[in-house]
């Protein structure tokens, strides 16, 4: 089974750049999408359905903002929209699909780059997200959490780390949270297979960052440790530019 996560920074814009061509070639079993930036009814599902996918969307209340989705060949047993916390669910940040024996999450963690208020929102989200997922594991013990975490976990996950320690996305308290989260019983799937530097999933549109590979690894496929032995591979498709992010994925089971 191939599961891919992709922050599209606007699904309608990504479609005009060739998203469906990539989808046909990549052929994931499950595609987790972040930043759809579209309301229900604004996404043309014809091509998704042509390739055999069922589509589930969780938009933000604010138009043109945030939003998550799961596109899946296998019809889920259940789809859960949100975490039941209004201030987060209003931003469409979490959607879960349950299958026989495992569950898949598409999540879009907040960014704190716009100022102190949103950074505080982000830090509170991180604590609430951890608590929610830990409670969820009592009934859904095999989780595959895919998405844009808006945090570089390790020093090798960002270009010139010494220049970014005071920047949202690489703050010490954010990295400390991420390690605490991993220590609760999760695996960063990509780092199970690849320990190299300069393996990024996001590049600023400014100053030729992509061409210079001045990127950040902020997109993840995190699995509960009880799935670690079933991981077959993990990858970053850093040659794709339908967004300022690129797809990241795993093969499992």
What tens digit of pLDDT does each residue of 188-217 get?
A: 999 999 999 999 999 999 999 999 999 999
Q: Is 51 left (phi over 0), alpha (psi -120 to 50) or beta?
A: alpha
Question: What pLDDT, in 10s, does the model give residues 129-176?
Answer: 999 999 999 999 999 999 999 999 999 999 999 999 999 999 999 999
Interhelix angle for 116-136 vs 172-183, to 10°? 0
Q: Tell me, what CATH number does 15's domain have? A: 3.60.10.10
Spatial contact of 219 and 5, defined as CB atoms under 8 Å apart? yes
Q: Provide the token pair at 137.
A: 């594991």
Give the model's confidence band at 241: pLDDT under 50 very low, under 70 low, under 90 confident, else very high.
confident
* Residues assigned a catalytic role: 148
Closest CA to 190 of 237, 226, 143: 237
Q: What is the mean pLDDT of residues 17-36?
A: 97
What value does the mean pLDDT take over residues 4-27?
97
pLDDT above 90 covers a percentage of the chain that reads 99
Domain that holds residue 165: 2-252
| Dist CA 11 CA 2 (whole Å) | 21
Number of domains present in the structure of the chain: 1
82-128 pLDDT, tens digit each: 999 999 999 999 999 999 999 999 999 999 999 999 999 999 999 99
Residue 220 has pLDDT above 90, yes or no: yes
Taking the whole predicted model, whether its pTM rises above 0.85 is answered as yes
Mean pLDDT of the chain: 97
Give the distance from CA 224 to its chain's centroid.
Answer: 15
């Amino acid at each position: 089974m191939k599961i891919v996560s992709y922050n599209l920074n606007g699904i309608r814009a990504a479609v005009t750049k060739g998203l469906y061509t990539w989808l046909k070639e990549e052929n994931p079993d499950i595609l987790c999408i972040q930043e759809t930036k579209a309301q229900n009814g604004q996404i043309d599902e014809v091509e998704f359905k042509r390739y055999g996918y069922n589509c589930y969307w969780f938009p933000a209340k604010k138009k043109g903002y945030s939003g998550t989705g799961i596109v899946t060949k296998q019809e889920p047993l259940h789809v859960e929209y949100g975490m039941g916390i209004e201030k987060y669910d209003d931003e469409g940040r979490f959607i879960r699909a349950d299958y026989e024996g495992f569950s898949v999450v598409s999540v879009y963690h907040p960014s704190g780059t716009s100022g102190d208020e949103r950074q505080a929102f982000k830090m509170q989200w991180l604590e609430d997200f951890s608590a929610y997922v830990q409670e969820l594991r009592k009934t859904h013990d095999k989780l595959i959490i895919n998405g844009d975490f808006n945090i570089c976990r390790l020093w090798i996950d960002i270009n010139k780390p010494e220049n970014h320690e005071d920047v949202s996305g690489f703050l010490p308290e954010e990295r400390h949270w991420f390690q605490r989260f991993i220590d609760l019983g999760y695996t960063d799937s990509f780092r199970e297979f690849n320990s190299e530097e300069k393996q990024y999933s996001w590049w600023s549109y400014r100053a030729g960052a992509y061409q210079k590979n001045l990127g950040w690894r902020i997109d993840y496929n995190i699995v509960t440790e009880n799935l670690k032995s079933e991981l077959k591979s993990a990858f970053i498709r850093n040659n794709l530019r339908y967004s300022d992010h690129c797809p990241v994925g795993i093969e499992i089971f």
